């Protein structure tokens, strides 16, 4: 007899989700909020739980198991052997203890980075670092791949990182903005997700914007889903990749030439503009950064740049910038120059004017609710030792290559640690780090690599020990929706039991803590099991809610009801203006910058003497771009995909919606295709001196000639190991692994040149989602 089916409410990065199950099998899933817009990511819970790509048992690389103190074989090419949990944990403990005693705490890299599973308790990296803290410390990470350059430069410029902060409220944008510019932003794609769970409210604002009659402009080398959503109501401008600063400089000089800039605002609210103005007018280098100069670099006609200057200055303008433009060499300059342009317009701190760096992410601008906000496992543990060193995430490969080597970061002289052990939990660095072949070579250097994973990712296939962990649907947790709005409190009830021999990270690290020392499990858990911790976090939310006049029902009732709680609106927050208080009274509300004002020329940054990050926004030509491309070379864009979250869900049936010839698609312009004899649907080889991939050709006029796009996140699938052909189309086989600058050390994935040709050899079989051989 079939078991009775029922629905369970849970949540993921893509929002609250209702899952149909009988307690053992997942049958279907859908969004729990009625948004009138399909979010495909919500439909594949079954694919996550029941995927044939799951890691089913603890596995150890054969050459490592044979001789743990002197491993044999090559990571990524060796078979795996199934072991028991007890054998796996004992082996980890023994090698961890040996490495820590021999090389010290800094040799243990537990800076595990990635998007994690949603929830306030089962954060893999947090739990890993809790365990390592109790063991005596570890090397962690600085920054992230998404906004590495911007989050370092913005505190110098405006006193906060901006990329993860609330925006001027959407009601004010809809009321006051005359012009809305989406500069390197594709919200129709990226608003499906959030760091916590999406509140899914962004689309209603974009629907209203579409009907508003405002002047809408999209600046992007590729015509995005957002442009297609707005259709004829949006103007598309496609500059050469990496030239946004030159384009903005041309607009800025036009403002000066016509006295359209707001000199009173610049005098009162900014510092260093005079030095920057000298640069604009060429008094430093003899080059006037006018529209004609800019047009020759960015490929947008000079007359268009002049028209943009007039349009922006004569209308209330909101510059909504994405993050892709700063994931480039000299990425710090992009958002710094955007803020400078907004300052010259004089509209920062006005309703509907200025700039915003997170309207495209987590529904920024959706007003913050009067909320009871959950606590989490994040934070120090009593008696522990937190990170003893940190490495910028985008320089982990260089750290492995050059232990003890000197480098610069944010004005500091630093030394790379000598990493001997890596534990990566809750992330997929083999898809998000640049130049995968270089990563594979560096990955051979440590003595031990442990991966905690649900799936056989590229990182798992290159590990010594792989531990099978639960998906979020196989455990209990809690979350909030809306990174900025805090709109809902959502129970994340376990849908089905752990699959195969998977365990949750909390259990794994609690057990390992007991291996480490008698009583270690008690220290790690503080005597609380999963449900006790969740009730603790809920009670802390209730206390916070009481301070906001928000009352919560008892935890037991909440958990039994299995329904989300929507937080009440706060009318004052619908009138929130970013930098509004600063504009109203800059003396009473100074910015946390070196001058208390918006910094256009920074004496601090200038004092560092970094040639790749001068003291004011500057056009610096990248190492690889349109301006120095060899014949037939193309610029490579690695944008966010529409039907997955980076690499998450690449294994799911959503792949059928976008793959071409069973591979990741590459978008190319019709003219570029014709010049190479390529038709839509063909398999092409894309290559440079870093690697080569096969991809399926998507031919369109919706991308700038000379630019191709392979969306980031496709799983790598090397034909014959390091240096060989990637059969699946993983873009980071091709991207350049350099820091954005010595200041931010962000990733520079969008600074790459490639060649492309039609592939005419026999097509190899894609095995990206096939578990490795085992014995």
Element (H, E) at 513: helix 505-516
**Helix axes of 332-345 and 150-158: crossing angle, nearest 10 degrees:** 30
Low-confidence ranges of the chain (pLDDT < 70): 1, 380, 775
- pLDDT at position 91: 98
d(CA 393, CA 397) in angstroms, rounded, equals 9
Task: List, for residues 694-746, the tens digit of each pLDDT value.
Answer: 999 999 999 999 999 999 999 999 999 888 999 999 999 999 999 999 999 99
| Per-residue confidence (pLDDT) for residue 747, from 0 to 100 | 96
Contact 256, 223 (CB under 8 A): no
Distances (CA, A) of 494 to 16, 26, 575: 14, 11, 39
Tell which phi-psi region holds residue 243, choosing left (phi > 0), alpha (psi between -120 and 50) or beta.
Answer: alpha
Task: Let me know the angle formed at the C-alpha of 466 by 460 and 467, rounded to the nearest 5 degrees.
Answer: 125
Is 115 annotated to bind ligand?
yes
Give all domains of the chain, ordered by start, each with its CATH number: 6-49 (no CATH), 51-113+385-470 (3.40.50.740), 155-366+585-608 (3.40.228.10), 626-758 (2.40.40.20)
Could you say which DSSP state residue 703 is in?
Answer: B
Residue 775 has what pLDDT? 67
Distances (CA, A) of 355 to 321, 389, 546: 7, 35, 34
Q: Which pLDDT does position 613 carry in this prediction?
A: 98
Is 581 within any annotated ligand binding site? no
395/747 Cα distance (integer angstroms) = 8
Q: Which residues are catalytic?
A: 113, 115
Q: H or E segment at 540?
A: helix 530-547
Res 1: pLDDT = 60
Helix (H, G, I), strand (E, B) or coil at 17: strand
424 bridge partner residues: 451
Ligand-binding site membership of 505 (annotated) = yes
CA gap 397, 419 in Å, rounded = 11
Handedness of CA 130, 131, 137, 142 (dihedral sign): negative
Give the integer Cα–Cα distance in Å for 10 and 48: 14
Q: Beta partners for 693?
A: 686, 726
Whole-angstrom distance, CA of residue 21 vs CA of residue 272? 61
In 3D, which of 537, 535, 509, 534 has the Cα closest to residue 523?
509
How many of the other CB atoms lie within 10 Å of CB of 774?
13
Pairing of strands 354-356, 26-31: unpaired
Report how far apart, in Å, the C-alpha atoms of 655 and of each of 535, 649, 658, 661, 664 are: 38, 8, 6, 11, 9
Q: Are 349 and 583 in contact (CB under 8 A)?
A: yes
Q: Strands 215-219 and 179-183: what pairing?
A: parallel
432 annotated ligand binder: yes
Confirm if 179 and 172 have CB atoms less than 8 A apart: no
How far is the CA of 275 from the CAs of 243, 278, 283, 305, in angstroms?
Answer: 22, 5, 10, 23
For residues 29 and 19, is the Cβ–Cβ distance under 8 A?
A: yes
Whether the Cβ atoms of residue 453 and residue 771 lie closer than 8 Å to each other:
no
Residue 287 vs residues 114, 211, 322, 662: alpha-carbon distances, Å:
43, 43, 29, 50
Q: Is 327 annotated as a binding residue?
A: yes
* Cα torsion angle, 632, 635, 638, 643, sign: negative
Q: Cα–Cα distance between 405 and 382 in angstroms, integer?
A: 33
DSSP alpha helix (H) spans, 288-415: 291-298, 302-314, 332-345, 396-401
Report the C-alpha gap between 153 and 741 in whole angstroms: 11
Residue 657 known to bind ligand = no
- Three-state DSSP class for residue 590: coil
| pLDDT for residue 418 | 98
């Amino acid at each position: 007899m079939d078991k009775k089916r029922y629905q369970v409410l849970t949540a993921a990065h893509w929002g609250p989700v209702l899952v149909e199950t009988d307690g053992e099998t997942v049958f279907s899933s859908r969004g729990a909020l009625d948004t009138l817009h399909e979010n495909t990511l919500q439909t594949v819970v079954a694919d996550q739980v029941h995927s044939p790509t799951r890691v089913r048992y603890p596995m150890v690389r054969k050459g490592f198991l044979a001789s743990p103190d002197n491993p044999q074989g090559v990571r990524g090419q060796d078979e795996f052997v199934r072991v028991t949990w007890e054998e796996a944990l004992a082996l980890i403990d023994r090698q961890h203890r040996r490495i820590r005693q021999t090389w010290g705490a800094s040799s243990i890299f537990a800076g595990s980075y990635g998007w994690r599973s949603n929830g306030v308790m089962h954060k893999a990296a947090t739990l890993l670092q809790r365990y390592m803290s109790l063991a005596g410390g570890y090397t962690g990470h600085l920054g992230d791949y998404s906004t590495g350059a911007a989050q370092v430069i913005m505190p110098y410029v405006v006193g906060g990182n901006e990329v993860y902060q609330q925006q001027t409220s959407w009601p004010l944008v809809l009321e006051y903005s005359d012009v809305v510019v989406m500069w390197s932003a594709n919200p129709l794609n990226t608003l499906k997700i959030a760091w916590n769970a999406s509140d899914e409210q962004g689309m209603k604002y974009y629907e209203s914007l579409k009907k508003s009659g405002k002047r809408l402009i999209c600046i992007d080398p590729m015509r995005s889903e957002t442009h297609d959503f707005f259709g004829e109501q949006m103007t598309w401008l496609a500059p050469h990749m990496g030239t946004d600063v030159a384009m903005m400089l041309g607009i800025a000089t036009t403002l000066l030439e016509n006295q359209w800039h707001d000199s009173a605002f610049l005098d009162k609210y900014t510092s260093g503009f005079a030095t920057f103005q000298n640069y604009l007018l060429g008094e430093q280098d003899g080059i006037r950064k006018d529209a004609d100069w800019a047009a020759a670099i960015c490929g947008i006609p000079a007359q268009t740049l002049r028209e943009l200057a007039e349009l922006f200055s004569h209308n209330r303008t909101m510059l909504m910038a994405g993050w892709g433009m700063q994931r480039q060499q000299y990425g710090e300059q992009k958002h710094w120059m955007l803020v400078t342009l907004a300052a010259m317009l004089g509209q920062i701190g006005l309703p509907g004017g200025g700039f915003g760096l997170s309207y495209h992410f987590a529904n920024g601008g959706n007003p913050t609710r009067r909320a009871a906000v959950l606590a989490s496992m994040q934070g120090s543990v009593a008696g522990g030792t937190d990170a003893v060193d940190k490495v910028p995430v985008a320089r982990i490969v260089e750290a492995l290559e050059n232990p003890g080597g000197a480098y610069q970061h944010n004005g500091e002289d630093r030394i790379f640690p000598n990493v001997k052990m890596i534990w990566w939990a809750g992330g997929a660095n083999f898809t998000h780090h640049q130049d995968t072949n270089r990563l594979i070579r560096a990955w051979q250097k440590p003595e031990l690599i442990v991966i905690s994973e649900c799936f056989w990712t590229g990182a798992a296939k290159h590990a010594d020990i792989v531990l099978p962990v639960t998906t979020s649907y196989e455990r209990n947790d809690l979350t909030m929706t809306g990174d900025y709005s805090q709109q809902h409190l959502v129970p994340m009830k376990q849908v089905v039991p752990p699959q195969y021999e998977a365990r949750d990270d909390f259990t794994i690290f609690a057990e390992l803590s007991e291996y480490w020392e008698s009583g270690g499990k008690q220290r790690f858990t503080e005597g609380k099991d999963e449900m006790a911790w969740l009730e603790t976090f809920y009670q802390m939310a209730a206390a916070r809610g009481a301070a906001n006049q928000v009352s919560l029902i008892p935890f037991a009732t909440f958990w039994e009801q299995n329904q989300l709680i929507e937080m009440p609106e706060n009318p004052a927050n619908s009138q929130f203006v970013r930098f509004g208080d600063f504009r109203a009274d800059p003396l009473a509300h100074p910015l946390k910058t070196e001058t208390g004002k918006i910094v256009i020329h920074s004496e601090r940054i200038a004092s560092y003497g970094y040639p790749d990050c001068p003291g004011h926004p500057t056009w610096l030509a990248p190492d690889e771009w349109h301006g120095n491309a060899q014949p037939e070379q193309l610029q490579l864009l690695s944008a966010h995909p529409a039907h997955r979250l980076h690499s998450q869900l690449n294994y799911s049936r959503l792949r059928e919606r976008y793959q071409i010839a069973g591979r990741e698609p590459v978008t190319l312009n019709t003219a570029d295709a014709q010049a190479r004899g390529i038709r839509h649907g063909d398999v092409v080889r894309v290559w440079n001196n870093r690697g080569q991939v096969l991809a399926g050709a998507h031919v369109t006029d919706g991308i700038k000639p000379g630019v191709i796009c392979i969306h980031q996140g496709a799983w790598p699938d090397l034909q014959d190991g390091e240096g060989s052909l990637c059969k699946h189309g993983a873009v980071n086989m091709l991207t350049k692994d350099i820091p954005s600058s010595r200041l931010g050390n962000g990733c520079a994935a969008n600074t790459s040149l490639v060649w492309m040709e039609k592939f005419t050899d026999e097509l190899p079989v894609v095995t990206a989602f096939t578990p490795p051989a085992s014995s």
